[in-house]
A and B are shown apart, each in its own frame.
Chain A
Amino acid sequence: MNIKIPELSLVLLVGPSGSGKSTFARKHFKATEILSSDYCRGLVSDDENNQAATSDAFDVLNFIAGKRLAAGKLTVIDATNVQDEARKPLVQLARQYHCLPVAIVFDLHDKVCHARNKERSDRTFGQHVVRQQSQQLRRSLRTLEKEGFRYVYRLESPEEVEAVTIVRQPLWNNKKEERGPFDIIGDVHGCFDELKRLLETLGYHVTREAETARYAVTHPAGRKAVFLGDLVDRGPSTPEVLRLVMDMTESGAALCVPGNHDMKLLRKLKGRDVQITHGLAESLAQLEKEPPAFHERVTAFLQGLVSHYVLDDGELVVAHAGLKREMQGRGSGKVKDFALYGETTGETDEFGLPVRYNWAAEYRGKAMVVYGHTPVPEPEWLNRTINVDTGCVYGGKLTALRYPERELVSVPAAHTYYESAKPFLPQDEAAPVLTAQQQHDDVLDIQDVLGKRLIKTRHHHTVTIREENAIAALEVMSRFAINPKWLIYLPPTMSPSETSTRDGYLEHPSEAFGYYRHNGVSRVVCEEKHMGSRAVVIVCRDEDAARSRFGVVGEGIGTCFTRTGRRFFSDDTLEREFLEAVRSAVEQAGWWDQLSTDWVCLDCELMPWSAKAQELLRHQYVAVGAASRAALPEVVALLEQSNATNPDLGALKERFVNRATMVDQYVAAYRKYCWSVRSLADYKMAPFHLLATEGKVHTDQDHIWHMETLATLNKANPSLFVATPYRVVDVTDSASEEEAIRWWATLTEAGGEGTVVKPFEFIATNRRGLVQPAVKCRGREYLRIIYGPEYSAPEHLERLRSRGLSSKRSLALREFALGIEALERFVRLEPLRRVHECVFGVLALESEPVDPRL
């Protein structure tokens, strides 16, 4: 006997003790699929037969069953299940998770059960127990279907049990193997002419075979149409629309899900009593002219429609009124209702129509959901969902979404065929300033950032954000960060090169080159590292572009923020002047046209250091210089005075003379990065990555492209922009390396911070994955600011050499991957929460404890 069960179902084995349920379960199901009440009794009480533990045991069992069903896993309940009150919570569970309950009943003779129980030493109960269970079982048999079991199988002998084969069937809605490409068409409502025109616009050949009178529809590129339901009612040609769609689905040229109007028509065709409202009258009048055979065909067609489809390996879901994530790929009455009608809040609006519950606003699923049902003037994306019902029958247009291209194609309605109760086209009022997604994105949800999170990135493996780091990031983000709509990127931390073993050096370019050589990167770019403050700058062509692309209104043409997402300039006027200067340079450089964009996002260093780090400088760096330069000369003078009488002090004197020299060098080092800032003219900006523009994250361009493109800003405004000097180095050629090392030495001896060494390509990988996107190599004098004025003394340097880079490097990769992921999601027009998740992640990772001197 074949027992067919849906691939996602809750299977109850029903039968008295000794009826062979556990043996059956073990034979046909995976061990992890079986939840046994005996086992749960054991879990909570150490005794599988302890009847007193039954209630606790079922709490555990139901809990696990709930988790499994939520995760979409078939679950088998191995318990007697002979009483309806025992089955009831399980049926409810199945309903809650929108899957079908199945009962497999073991209706064997009591003697069989007795015999089996006798063989087992742990079954000490009397025969009356089995007898009672059998009676309950018999009573149950009459009510199982009423209780909600969609499939009931009854096995009446050990032989029958033995002969069973379980067949798992995919759900009707599972068409994951259909990968498109698709053209998903909104509510047609009998508008045949528009539908035909739309299909032709989409490139379909629509012909009608003379002999069969059937439509033959094909697409040269093998595309498939998907109808979102509501084919019928209100419009002029419902039968013709049905004919076309039925022919298309039968020939495999189309898929179709039902709409509420289609189902109401079906009920009418099946002779049920329905109200002839909302355009059903038109359908019926038109269908009257059709022969009974056509009616039968329509009835069969509509009856066979499946509430929704999951397509393209789970990437795409189509349903008439949309579908929540937890209902996708499930089958229950509720799922069907949702797919047909959506959900309403129970309230009614000023036109007397039910207020719809906006499920799309809360949608967090990974599948794209395309739906119709409620006419909208223009389809708008919201959280990976889109409604393409553009009210053709009301005089709007008929729209298709091309998948996976995400392009919209529409044909206008030839007439207004039906008056809408609620005007769906915009009245005289101006169109809303922000899109639905932008309005939605005005407020992010805390559930999207709080707690432990796993973020999938396209350039690295999944990045884990730990809860305690998210806690820290939440505070920084909400107290100090700029508007999250601007915050589409945060720069990653950067690791230094491996510690040098050369005399007098802590860092040296050889190690940076060696790192890349060892990681299979032969060409690198050395860029001068500027010592200022890291800044990310976004500028738009104008405020209009800021609104349309970033959804930001009244906050100017752009933003400039720090590596922790804070506003860079505290002075409004200065910020405005700065952004305007950048905008004008971008314009002069011709980027708007060259890059076909209205905005740019730049990764830069803004100088001088003293402009942003004023407080830090005064309280720490300069203060240490002041203290040491006040104290050490006194000490040296006194030691010189004493040395005359006490020659023992000679060595001590030498030591302190050296110390005094080193603190002077330290002061000279930080002074290089400080100058007074009175106006914008005193700032210098060194952009080094042109991160993103409309539709593109420029990680596919190598660093030479970035440097050369960014140099055009320097040409446009040489007083603000610094063109960063750089060298291309072949790390397999020692002459090339030597030349770069000499350059580094010259730079750093002149007071430069050092260089950043990057792989030639923006994103470099090897067998093990991502290679560091950049490694810094800092100059000897500069390092006094990091490791203290006197770090270069041999006794200090030796100890400072022991430093571990691995956690810094791992952090750098994770942050890099997240930052780029944020940009990728932004240019792909994903909802803000998806971008914010990554940026928030970078901030959270920054709270991980890492040696701050690296």
Chain B
Amino acid sequence: MLLTITTKRSPATDLGYLLHKNPARAHEVSLSFGKAHVFYPEAKPDCCTAALLLDLDPVGLVRNRRGPGGEGRALEQYVNDRPYVASSFMSVALSQVFGTAMAGRSKERQELAEQALPFHVKVAVVPCRGGEPVLRKVFEPLGYTVVVTRHPLDETFPEWGESAYFTVELRAVHRLKDLLAHLYVLLPVLDDDKHYWVGDDELQKLLHHGGDWLAAHPERELIVQRYLKYQKRLTRRALAQLVEDEESDPDAEAEIHATEEAVVEERITLNQQRHAAVVAALKATGAKRVLDLGCGEGKLLRVLLEEKAFSQVVGMDVSYRALEVAQERLHLDRMPTKQRERITLFQGALTYRDARLEGYDAATVIEVIEHLDPHRLSSFERVLFEAAKPRAVILTTPNAEYNVKFETLPAGKLRHKDHRFEWTRQQFQHWAMGVADRFGYSVRFLPVGPEDAVVGAPTQMGIFARMGSR
């Protein structure tokens, strides 16, 4: 909520000319979200400090809100940190209160505006996702000396740990215009949130304020991604335009991309392998009418639709939102009638018996059961194997033994926050054979993904076939 800019370059009071705000007076500017005050706690020839104080209207923020809900919908609640921190509101205030200075103009001291001067900036307080390391790697490459003070969450509860708020002091010799541009772009980047919708004009703002220095910044990808709220399309365009202006080292560039791709590729391969294995297993059953239970956003559905062998494909998920995304991704509304008739999507839950699931040749249950509470598995078994009873069921789940191979996964942790369990191969097979036995199915198992001699493959698959069918 508070930003001070200090200079000791004599006569320091020239800062008033540069900011177009007279040090002798207090200034009040009305903004859409509250007020900004500019005043000078100190205005002497050897040291002059200008303070920009934001006075956000906390009730107005909630009641008159038109923009997005903010991180965790914080802006929809009265209890939120926005009135006390330097965020995108501060950037907007900077551009409105110090617009002329940001443009690099000064009526009385143009030569000073074009000159790099020693500045000391203090911001209270800065919310920073990623903490001190991010603060440093964002400001230090721009020549700042950075001093940070991290604030505790609540000193009476030390066990709650540190907060994500910092008082930040920056020292550097820069043109005022550049200093303001850095703050304008980087404060919301540290916060990693925006109080307004990010659109194409946001890209223009970024290129305008970051054009000179962002291309050479080693953290430009992080900055661009966060500034544009991870909107991939905008981020790609921003990076392309930034790099165009830059003389880059093509070899280094290629190297970076190769490693990035490997990381990505590994993921794609496992998912693709899983889908390929599922499709192969499905085809082997001779199934024509197929259910994908827990279809999510429809990645497997797309693969299934490409296969002529499947005359009917049904996707079911408990998340209505996921189904909407699937509908969009599969372009259902623009699909030719014949194709469209092959696919059905509906909401359903694997713990409720559902007549709509009866009469299919096969069902796929891909990476789904680990999202069910173990106590609810018996219901799932009855819903699928007793009531719906497709001729074949293809079911995959993570192989917990393989987790040791994931370097980023701490020991004992599950792969996904919502996983209720992950089974070893023995646990899975024990369960699957029990199910097969209880409901009159046979079952066999296949590893999916690169197989390790000791811990097996990352994914395990069970292929159930109803006895006496076919």
Contact = CB atoms under 8 A, between A and B. Distances in A.
A560 to B, nearest CB: 15
Contact of B124 (A474, A621, A634, A663): A634
Interface in A622-666: 622-632, 634-635, 638-639, 641-642, 645-646, 648-649, 652, 655, 663
Given A445-B353, A446-B354, A634 B153 contact: no
Contacts of B74: 620
A635 B318 contact: no
B26 A652 contact: yes
A444 B37 CA distance: 62
Given A631-B1, A631-B2, A642 B320 contact: no
Interface stretch (A226-234, A732-740, A789-797): A789-797
A483 interface: yes
A443 B353 contact: yes
A787 B81 contact: no
Looking at B4, B37, B77, B352, the one whose CB has the most chain A CB atoms below 10 A away is B352
Contact of A621 (B59, B79, B371, B383): B79
Q: In terms of DSSP, what is the predominant structure of the interface of chain B?
A: mixed
Q: In terms of DSSP, what is the predominant structure of the interface of chain A?
A: helix
A210 B8 CA distance: 129
B157 A674 contact: yes
Interface string A409-452: 00000000000000000000000000000000011111101100
Given A475-B318, A635-B53, A635-B124, A622 B352 contact: no
Looking at A625, A627, A638, the one whose CB has the most chain B CB atoms below 10 A away is A627
Interface residues of B, number: 67
A786 interface: yes
A397 to B, nearest CB: 32
Interface in B331-369: 347-356
Contact of A628 (B84, B378, B379): B84
A-side interface size class: 35 or more
B319 A631 contact: no
A788 B78 contact: yes
B51 interface: yes
Interface string A783-810: 0011111110000100110000000000
B79 A478 contact: no
A631 B165 CA distance: 10
A630 B1 CA distance: 10
Contacts of B83: 628, 790
Contacts of A626: 151-154, 163, 165
B163 A627 contact: yes
B41 A638 contact: yes
B458 interface: no
A776 B332 CA distance: 49
B153 A479 contact: no
A838 to B, nearest CB: 16
B192 to A, nearest CB: 14
Nearest to A674: B157
Interface in B22-63: 24-26, 37, 39-43, 51, 53, 55, 58-59, 63
B191 to A, nearest CB: 11
B382 A443 contact: yes
Contacts of A266: none
Contacts of B355: 445, 447
Given A634-B124, A635-B1, A638-B2, A446 B163 contact: no
Contact of B85 (A631, A655, A674, A799): A631
B58 A788 contact: yes
Contacts of B160: 617-618, 622
Contacts of B164: 623
A443 B85 CA distance: 51
Contacts of A652: 26, 37, 53
B387 interface: yes
Contacts of B84: 624, 627-628, 630-632, 663
B374 to A, nearest CB: 10
Contacts of B58: 788, 790-791, 796
A555 B373 CA distance: 12
Contacts of A642: 26, 39-41, 51
Interface in B371-396: 371, 373, 375-376, 378-379, 382-383, 386-387
A478 B350 contact: yes
A414 B123 CA distance: 95
Contacts of A573: none
B78 A786 contact: yes
A474 B349 CA distance: 7
11 contacts: A444-B352, A444-B353, A479-B418, A626-B154, A632-B1, A641-B41, A646-B25, A646-B26, A674-B157, A787-B79, A791-B78
- Top 3 A-B pairs, shortest CB-CB distance: A788-B78, A478-B349, A446-B352
Given A449-B352, A642-B41, 17 more contacts: A442-B379, A443-B382, A443-B386, A444-B351, A446-B353, A471-B320, A474-B349, A479-B371, A482-B375, A618-B160, A619-B72, A623-B153, A624-B84, A630-B151, A631-B84, A638-B53, A639-B39
